[in-house]
Amino acid sequence: MDLTVSAALHVTLLAVVAAASPLTLTATLIVIRSERPRIDGIGFLSGYVLGTALACMVGLVVGSAFVDRIDSHDTIEAFIELLAGAALLVVGGRTRWTEPAPRRTGRRTAIMAGLRDMGPAAAFSMAALLGFGGPKRLLFTLLAMASVSGAGDGRIIDAALVVAYVVIATAPVWGPVGFVIVAPDRARRTLERSERWVTANARELRVWLSLALGTALVVDGLVRIFM
């Protein structure tokens, strides 16, 4: 397969995995149901895109050094992807077959507790941290940027792949925010129902997203190893 096509498909898969976050979607829905949905939503979106872009810049630096110094970088990347996919399968399986904790604690609770009363500046800062990512999201960003660096098809194509990654990986934010900007009255009712549904089904979403995306990563990793 042509290196550019292969890199594009791989970057797309990793961007979808990075985007598939019930936490990010729930946070976005909370922010844009504030008293100033447009202003707060734009602030949140700006921060999220900036954080994702900064992670991509870090990934390009790390990926370029990785590709330049290690001849077998493709195999190592595929092996890391395989392990990440297996980890998602384990997480999905454990979540599916264990009883839910009586209380939600940790990062998710801390984020949700203060989102409703945040102003645009605070929403921007929080979103920038979310966009840059925790360990999982950052790992997928680094893998995607390593693929971009390894394609070696020129700056224009590399830039296009990075833009594609950012657009896809930030879709859970720009989709709802764009809806609020274009159709605020209709969006308020629709997004209120959406927030209730996502909150009520967060556990099931995590399970099936983990299983589906974990399977995709395992298959892709195996194909890349044995190609």
d(CA 192, CA 55) in angstroms, rounded, equals: 31
pLDDT digits (tens, 9 = 90+) for 99-156: 665 555 555 666 666 676 778 888 899 899 999 988 889 999 999 998 888 766 677 8
Find the range with the poorest average confidence among 39-48, 110-119, 160-169. 110-119
The domain locations on the chain are: 3-72+100-186
Q: 20 and 209 in contact (C-beta within 8 Å)?
A: yes
Q: How far is Cα 1 from Cα 115, in angstroms, rounded to an integer?
A: 45
Give Cβ neighbours of residue 4 (< 8 Å, ≥ 6 apart): 151, 153, 157
- Does the reported pTM lie above 0.85? yes
What tokens were used for 159? 């830039």
CA distances from 63 to 50, 143, 149, 165, 166 (A): 19, 8, 6, 15, 16
Give the Cα separation of 161 and 159 in Å (integer): 5
What per-residue confidence (pLDDT) applies to 164? 96
Q: What is the percent of the chain where pLDDT is above 90?
A: 43
SS3 101: coil
Higher pLDDT, 146 or 227: 146
**CA dist., res. 121 & res. 39, Å (int):** 10
